[in-house]
Structure 1
């Protein structure tokens, strides 16, 4: 923390804690949204890291060095993507956001040895405080259209005092700018790449529904049940941000369709519950009770949405089922222990 207190941005954070208006800093040198928007395409494509203002944000130089090593293929994963992962886990996203365009380009390089690890971290800064969240109201919730004050109130501050809503908005903007690089990864030969591409793209702005359409198109061609389930959840997440009643109806059709793989039906049930305020239908309860075996719940933790929803010794699927279908039931443990054995 001492190192962070010497960072120039600390003065802004201290001023905010003393009552300054967040809007007075919008668009300034310490607004990571403005910093991301100012990075030229040539700098992204050419990995011209010196043209990115890393030094303005907490531990930015560490992120810059990690991306340099990762791009040069001289870095083991733990010191490359591990830096971004660790900072997001420690609720320090501002500098990690600046890495997003470069992580995307590494992921898009079919010859890069760490492309899968890079892609897995692309959307980490785009989601704040969502681990262990499994309720209908919160699981797939984005606040991308909120104003500055609302983002500040909804996401609060990072451990450094930096407005978390700014980091989240900037990360989503960076991902949106590179939709064209991410969409081809939905058809990658590696199933984990296809899943993580869907997870990243689900955070993009999609007012014209082009991203959501790409999920549906890939769903029609996809054969892997877990990847199909990922595409269903990605479709629901994109629809939560940009409501579309025909897509909500499509989600309902998928959990009712007995010819669909169980993983797809379970993902569709969860997605549909997050898209509607309707009471839980009895046929949905029956389908979930029948399909949600312990073995399947473990397998579905391969989906990053479910991995993030884990909590209190439960798999993500079990936690979602309890929160969405049985919200009055207490947690199985007194606290959320990430090291507790899963059911």
Structure 2
């Protein structure tokens, strides 16, 4: 017998969502979107974890314990706590982690924190549906529509967990945008990835993305900013972004990594046939060096099966959608 059968939070979720209509729970105590939105600013800023109803969601109590360890423990303890939170996302249990997103954002914004990049990694992961191994034109930059329901392993509606995280990111845009100017390139990349998931404040975010891209000197960060601009554009159906990425990859004066990310962005933003001009650009850009340069980007890591093969897999899936992966991988990322 599963231990979940004795977990009051799991039982409540099963009763609410297994036997009833999801919409009956909108705004109620099991709506994680409402729970996260109701967390008061002083609770977030002062880390008053005891004021958050963690126990309403399966494994939520464990998430609170991990947050306490992350807040008070050393480097190793904090790293393990973040690993547990990321593991819950990997196990498709985002509802438990969504209430932690505002606190994780504050950890990332704290210059004295030892886990800024990792905390943002969890924030961004909660804000996305299951996406490991996704590298097609249709899905690489996609946030699912609200009418496409997906449930977590506990039976909780994953759409709500993701939306709660995306709303929390938008609410704390003021804390996240300055991270795009941090001295650490890895933090700048992580901030771009998280902000690309914001459900609101998109005009402000887009403006800062473009300004940062113009000033950015690190090639990998430039590549990340282009993908972030494209993903934000897709999520909010911003047609000028489609025009912009087309101009980027077609402009030989642009840095190679900017053009490469713009190629991926354009193919994800439009269903148009791939023009010969783009294929010619790829003949020059799709090198082993470019693959290594872009490998650390979270979009590429989400697509890879083996180390550093994310860009190769994306290009193959987008340019040859009817041809099996040459390495013989299945569509199952855990195969």
Tell me whether 283-292 or 99-108 shows the greater mean CA deviation.
Answer: 283-292
2:205 — aligned with what? 211
Cα deviation, residue 298, structure 1: 2.6
Provide the secondary structure at the position in 2 that maps to 1:123.
helix
CA contact (8 A) 2:33 2:163 kept: yes
Provide the secondary structure at the position in 2 that maps to 1:278.
coil
Tell me whether 67-76 or 258-267 shows the greater mean CA deviation.
Answer: 67-76
Cα deviation, residue 292, structure 1: 0.9
Inter-partner Cα distance in structure 1 for 2:109 and 2:214:
23
1:44 — aligned with what? 44
1:27 — aligned with what? 27
Distance 1:2 1:120, change over 3 A: same
1:57 — aligned with what? 57
CA contact (8 A) 1:135 1:324 kept: yes
Inter-partner Cα distance in structure 1 for 2:314 and 2:234:
17
Distance 1:270 1:138, change over 3 A: same
CA contact (8 A) 1:73 1:112 kept: no
Inter-partner Cα distance in structure 1 for 2:37 and 2:65:
21
Please report the TM-score for the alignment, with normalisation by the length of structure 1.
Answer: 0.91
Inter-partner Cα distance in structure 2 for 1:274 and 1:51:
41
The answer to whether structure 1 residue 266 and structure 2 residue 260 are counterparts is yes
Distance 1:94 1:75, change over 3 A: farther
Distance 1:294 1:301, change over 3 A: same
2:82 — aligned with what? 81
Inter-partner Cα distance in structure 1 for 2:17 and 2:100:
27
Distance 1:138 1:51, change over 3 A: same
2:183 — aligned with what? 189
Inter-partner Cα distance in structure 2 for 1:314 and 1:326:
20
CA contact (8 A) 1:70 1:81 kept: yes
Please report the TM-score for the alignment, with normalisation by the length of structure 2.
Answer: 0.93
Inter-partner Cα distance in structure 2 for 1:334 and 1:271:
24
The answer to whether structure 1 residue 173 and structure 2 residue 167 are counterparts is yes
2:151 — aligned with what? 157
Inter-partner Cα distance in structure 1 for 2:11 and 2:73:
36
Distance 1:338 1:19, change over 3 A: closer
Cα deviation, residue 5, structure 1: 2.7
Inter-partner Cα distance in structure 1 for 2:117 and 2:87:
17
CA RMSD for the aligned pairs? 2.1
The superposition leaves residues 248-274 of structure 1 with CA deviations (integer Å, 9 ceiling, x where unpaired) of: 111111111212222211100000111
2:113 — aligned with what? 112
Cα deviation, residue 143, structure 1: 3.4
In the TM superposition, structure 1's runs of 4+ consecutive aligned residues that sit over 4 Å from their partners are: 16-19, 336-340
Inter-partner Cα distance in structure 2 for 1:201 and 1:17:
30
CA contact (8 A) 2:93 2:153 kept: yes
Write out aligned runs for 1:1-343 (5 A).
2-15=2-15, 18-74=18-74, 76=76, 77-143=78-144, 146=146, 150-152=147-149, 156-206=150-200, 209-311=203-305, 315-331=309-325, 332-335=327-330
CA contact (8 A) 1:313 1:338 kept: no
CA contact (8 A) 2:132 2:333 kept: no
The superposition leaves residues 178-217 of structure 1 with CA deviations (integer Å, 9 ceiling, x where unpaired) of: 1100000000000000000000000002365211111111
